[in-house]
Structure 1
Amino acid sequence: MLRPRLLFLLALLQVFHATAISGSSCRCLYGDPCWPSQSKFDKLSAQVSQPLLFPTPAAQACYTSPDSAECTEAVAQWGNGNWRANHTGAMQSPNFETFTFSNGTIEGCYLNTTLGLPCGRGSVSVIAVDARSVSDVQAAVNFAAVYNLRLAIKNTGHDYLGRSDGRGSFMLWTHNMKNITVHPSFTPAGAPTNESYEYAITLEAGVQWHEAYSAANDAGRVLVGGASGGGSVGAAGGWIQGGGHSALSASFGLGVDNVLEISVVTSNGSYLVTNAYQHPDLFWALRGGGGGTYAVATSVTYRTRPSFPVIGAFLSASINTSSLTPNAALSAAFTELVRITPQLTDQGWGGYSMFKPSNSSVSFVIRYVVPDSSPESAAQANATMSAYLTHVQELAANATQAGDSTVVQSAYTASFASWWDWYVPLFSTGESVGFNVELGSWLLPRDVVESDHEHVAETLVNIPAISWYLVCGGAASNVSADAAGINPAWRKAVVHVVGATTWSDGATLEEINAAREILKSDTAKMRALAPESGAYYNEASPYEPNPAQAFFGSHYNKLRAIKAVYDPINLFVVTEGVGSDEWDDSLTCRK
């Protein structure tokens, strides 16, 4: 116990020393005189289980060795989330690998080498600890604290705010912490012996959802978790610390409602097991108060449920259009979906629907699921959804008769023996990353949707690439707003609405900013529907006018106070995170 405390004191001395020399409290970046010497990194290397890593941009091989197997692999796997997660220098969205200088110049390393631009490091971290154990994490955290380094914590790089890297930073890479433990009976540390949970599952920091789901399914259990192509999102890091929405949230609550215990390493190197009985304040903050802010999560223990049959709902419709917005038939289909959303979430329906513009067409896709837990409730849920899908088909048929080009490729419900059987065909493969993207989102309360669904639909349907996610409401609303650190807006929300903007590699800052202005405008329209609500921190705009309120709501001050207790040296600072407003835009120097 003495060693972490000693290193913590050394870290404080280092911060005070840097302040005395520079006159300001700034992080030490690569290239600065304060950057640790090679001998100091050698000492760190001797303390950890793996050689230190030197992250490089994912496309670098195509510049240094264009005919190499590494370049061929990069081209083939560029949109594969699991490949990108395995690459220390890759973010899931490559725009977050770039860096923009004050003169507007953008440094990056684009896969498209024909642009004639050099391959630069951009925001990719300089050196990394490949953590495989708690002691590795402690060594990395202590090193960053002692030398006052800008610390980036990364598992997969699934991050729409760019919190997993940073120009000139030192990275803690948790991706290879892959242990999974299924407990036939689990009692949280410090809990009464009669409090136990059957088949809880403990996931180390690097476990991804495809690995977690497979392990749970092998045990005949189901987890409340996230969905992405290939299941590449991390299951025990930023997802849960941001709140964690799921297609099962309407039935079983959000991710934060299904956590039993979180183990962490704090900025003084201490290893803590947090739950309702030990460090409950930190446990509260870690459940929705934002990743990379309070401590480094080394493992998370979730409750599970016995496997159950489900009903899936599927819709695929499209129109040919040059406006990138739906026509009257699809607009009417979306309006009806908005109207029945509160009923759907009450029945336990969850999942994902979106309008996706592509070239000269717009598609409308639904992928929903509901537990088939009892014959009566399942029949009611199936009847509601089947009636809606029939309505969409009728709208399309009428549009076709009127000379429109609306086409419904599929619209049906189907029974599955298990949630796993629904999930695998939809999400076990797929490429949904590897392109430049920024998001804007908003949580719409139930009363707003119920009181004026037509206005909600009319506002949103004219936003290209709008997504309507049924990942809240239902059981997620039947939890006290103060039960966890997550934004209280989640407890009133019935739907999570997401918009996006994209741009091509090599775009100028002026072109990118033009795309951002559209996103800002679209997000403002969402926000105006329910100004007192909030946004999902993990899928949100980096341009929220009041990020503290949007992402954390009335919990912000309590979260800031908890951070002060467990991270008094402010080692953990991320974009728009709690306490980040006390730093400059680069998160390098205190204001």
Structure 2
Amino acid sequence: MRFRFLPNLVSFLPAILAQTTVSSNKDADCRCLYGQSCWPSEQDFSSLSTLLSQPLIRPVPPASACYPVGNPSGNCSDVQQNWVNGNWRADQPGAYQNVNFETYTNRNGSISGCYLNTTLGLPCDQGSIPPIGVDVRTIEDVQAAVRFVGQHNLRLVVKNTGHDYLGRSAARNAFMIWTHHLKNISYNANFIPDGGLDNETVPALTLGAGGGLQWREAYAAVAEQERFILGGISTDMSVGAAGGWIMGGGHSGFSAKYGLGVDNAIQFTIVKADGDHVVANAHHNPDLFWALRGGGAGSWGVVTSVTYRTYDLVPLTMSFINATFSDPQVAQEVTTEFIGLHPKLSDAGWGGYSFFNNQTIFAAFLAPNVSWADTNATILPFFDFVKNATGQPDTPIFTQPFDNFHAWLDALQSQGSAGGMEQVGGFGELASRLISREAAEERPEETAQLLLSFEFVSINFVAGGAVARADPDSVGLHPGWRKAVAHVWTSEGWEAGDSGDVVRQARQRVAREVRRLEPISPDSATYMNEASLYEPDFRKSFFGSHYEKLRSIKRKHDPRSLFLVAEGVGSEDWNGSLTCPV
């Protein structure tokens, strides 16, 4: 199927971990993994524990509470009830928002995991979930964990909520730094970056840490100040606000008005590979500040806070259409018109989200600081075009004004997980590209025809406008973002318990779909946080002309590549499992 956006387990842990042991480490340059002779002893871990504010954690698959079958080790009903709840998943150190990253593909092609569907008759395996880690609550916890990893040369992952379509926060037999409980929020109407001048004051919100704060919490905090912050939009608003989202660029349905997350970040604090806790802004470590804004999650250290500028609240309107198509020609006509709208709307600061195929189109538009009357004047001609083209005058549409962002968000959340769509708890991987302004403005018919050749695609209106007006070299983000008007993605999925062959074929289709999307993209660019593990050249697609500068910064601040992730800066120097240099 296609991917939709659609307790005490200590006694059970040894049985799970017994299935994940590996041979001894034969190469001193390789990372040390659980089960190898180089793995730290219990005495080593006990020594680490004395430096921490919390006990060490032993992450297990969330479905393990339902095993052994017939005599569950935990609260299986709680797991079943919350399986597709993003915030519940974020609270479990062993849970990932996409379940495929909990699993592991064995050398023979079979899949090891722990499935909620116990009737499959499959064993509950640890998969790619690290067997041990640190639940960091303080900066000192982070420093102790990072130094321990460096001392023992461990394969490291940094995890907060588990929202990651590249699986960068999972790794089999690795050591986990879990930042989910590193939470703090502070607002300063006259924030001055460290080292800045008195005339650099900015009304800003500082969020900690390593993504520990989620956007639902950040929005609640900024609402108390009657301010707006540019942030992520997802069901449950469970995405981390100070971690992978910002380091990958940080898009939003409000980006055309306010820019990307990287354009709104004023200052970071971060624990580097040597364990030092430093400030990165325009005055201190400016090279690292540049890299953190778009240079990719998991490559630079453990981010402990991000400070964002905030804005005055303004009214906004939302528009919506959900049409069906009687034949492919009608779909072509409507989507051609739809694609051609993007440059005009983004120039005016509009954003939003959509998906379509040859049978239907759903689109929601967000227009900040645009009156209801002006919204109607802009969007109703397109809605009328759709009604006429489809011959369906009763096509569901609406436009609605809101006092401000927070009123809109309250209305959205009152629908329950963004109207009931499920974004988590399934198996799937993405293929994506940015849509260039040229493709939308000068080749809308050709672009629409290409996108309609997929079973479905989704377009996020998260570029153009303020994004396009920013200096492409001001941050480490791929400069292709400044030539784009939107981000398009499609996906492949499978069911729990599907064979390795089924999963392999789905992944092969994703790899082909990445290449098929090339014609729409500026410089083969895409949004790395919603992208493919099968990029032909991730350096080109994720970083573009900025890659060599990012690589130089990486060598300076993390010369041993302690922080290493799939398709991250410097990962080309390591094998596929990121355990040994090549």
Q: State the TM-score, normalizing by the size of structure 1.
A: 0.90
Q: How does 1:165-180 map to 2 (within 5 A)?
A: 165-180=170-185
User: 2:563 is matched with which residue: 567, 572, 582?
Assistant: 572
Distance, in Å, in 2 between the alignment partners of 1:23 and 1:169 is 17
Distance, in Å, in 1 between the alignment partners of 2:185 and 2:456 is 36
User: Between Structure 1 and Structure 2, how many residues are aligned?
Assistant: 551
User: 1:196 is matched with which residue: 159, 178, 201?
Assistant: 201
2:381 partner letter:
A
SS in 2 for 1:292: coil
User: 2:112 is matched with which residue: 107, 110, 113?
Assistant: 107
Deviation, 1:213, is: 0.7
Deviation, 1:203, is: 3.5
Give 1:372's aligned residue.
369
User: 1:26 is matched with which residue: 23, 30, 36?
Assistant: 30
Q: How does 1:2-21 map to 2 (within 5 A)?
A: none
Identity %: 45
Name the CA shift for 1:427/1:350 in 2 (closer, same or farther; >3 Å).
farther
Is 1:184 equivalent to 2:189 in the alignment?
yes
1:136 partner letter:
D
Deviation, 1:166, is: 0.5
1:535-566 CA distances to partner (integer Å, 9 max, x unpaired)?
Answer: 11111111111111110000000000001111
2:51 partner letter:
Q
Is 1:254 equivalent to 2:260 in the alignment?
yes
2:572 partner letter:
D
Distance, in Å, in 2 between the alignment partners of 1:426 and 1:302 is 24
User: 1:132 is matched with which residue: 137, 146, 152?
Assistant: 137
User: 1:293 is matched with which residue: 299, 313, 329?
Assistant: 299
- Larger mean CA deviation between 387-396 and 24-33 belongs to 387-396
Give 1:417's aligned residue.
403
Name the CA shift for 1:261/1:438 in 2 (closer, same or farther; >3 Å).
same
Give 1:323's aligned residue.
none
1:458 partner letter:
Q
Distance, in Å, in 2 between the alignment partners of 1:413 and 1:457 is 25
Distance, in Å, in 2 between the alignment partners of 1:368 and 1:484 is 28
Give 1:583's aligned residue.
574
Deviation, 1:289, is: 0.2
Distance, in Å, in 2 between the alignment partners of 1:387 and 1:28 is 61
Deviation, 1:23, is: 4.3
1:469-497 CA distances to partner (integer Å, 9 max, x unpaired)?
Answer: 11000000001110000000101111111
Is 1:208 equivalent to 2:214 in the alignment?
yes
Name the CA shift for 1:272/1:382 in 2 (closer, same or farther; >3 Å).
farther
User: 1:47 is matched with which residue: 43, 47, 51?
Assistant: 51
2:433–2:520 Cα contact (<8 Å) kept: no
Give 2:443's aligned residue.
452
User: 1:147 is matched with which residue: 128, 139, 152?
Assistant: 152
SS in 2 for 1:40: helix
2:253–2:351 Cα contact (<8 Å) kept: yes
2:322–2:360 Cα contact (<8 Å) kept: yes
Give 2:289's aligned residue.
283
Distance, in Å, in 2 between the alignment partners of 1:230 and 1:332 is 35
Is 1:265 equivalent to 2:282 in the alignment?
no
1:433-466 CA distances to partner (integer Å, 9 max, x unpaired)?
Answer: 1000100110121122211100000100121230
Deviation, 1:351, is: 1.3
Name the CA shift for 1:555/1:199 in 2 (closer, same or farther; >3 Å).
closer
1:329 partner letter:
V
Deviation, 1:363, is: 4.3
Is 1:521 equivalent to 2:512 in the alignment?
yes
Distance, in Å, in 2 between the alignment partners of 1:188 and 1:531 is 34
Give 1:227's aligned residue.
233
SS in 2 for 1:47: coil
Deviation, 1:227, is: 0.8
1:383 partner letter:
A
Distance, in Å, in 2 between the alignment partners of 1:524 and 1:386 is 35
SS in 1 for 2:364: strand
Distance, in Å, in 2 between the alignment partners of 1:552 and 1:516 is 23
2:136–2:181 Cα contact (<8 Å) kept: yes
SS in 2 for 1:497: strand
Distance, in Å, in 1 between the alignment partners of 2:484 and 2:130 is 37
1:52 partner letter:
L
Name the CA shift for 1:314/1:548 in 2 (closer, same or farther; >3 Å).
same
SS in 2 for 1:182: strand
Q: How does 1:285-324 map to 2 (within 5 A)?
A: 285-318=291-324
2:575 partner letter:
D
1:345–1:472 Cα contact (<8 Å) kept: yes
1:262-291 CA distances to partner (integer Å, 9 max, x unpaired)?
Answer: 100000000001111110000000000001
SS in 2 for 1:162: coil
Q: State the TM-score, normalizing by the size of structure 2.
A: 0.91
Q: How does 1:545-556 map to 2 (within 5 A)?
A: 545-556=536-547
Deviation, 1:182, is: 1.1
Distance, in Å, in 2 between the alignment partners of 1:185 and 1:584 is 47
1:164-190 CA distances to partner (integer Å, 9 max, x unpaired)?
Answer: 010001000000011111112200000
Give 2:67's aligned residue.
63
1:242–1:289 Cα contact (<8 Å) kept: yes
- Larger mean CA deviation between 193-202 and 482-491 belongs to 193-202
1:124 partner letter:
I
Q: How does 1:315-464 map to 2 (within 5 A)?
A: 315-318=321-324, 327-355=328-356, 362-372=359-369, 379-397=373-391, 408=395, 410-427=396-413, 429-430=416-417, 431-464=422-455
Distance, in Å, in 2 between the alignment partners of 1:355 and 1:514 is 24
Deviation, 1:426, is: 2.8
Distance, in Å, in 2 between the alignment partners of 1:294 and 1:146 is 18
1:348 partner letter:
G
2:98–2:428 Cα contact (<8 Å) kept: yes
1:447 partner letter:
E
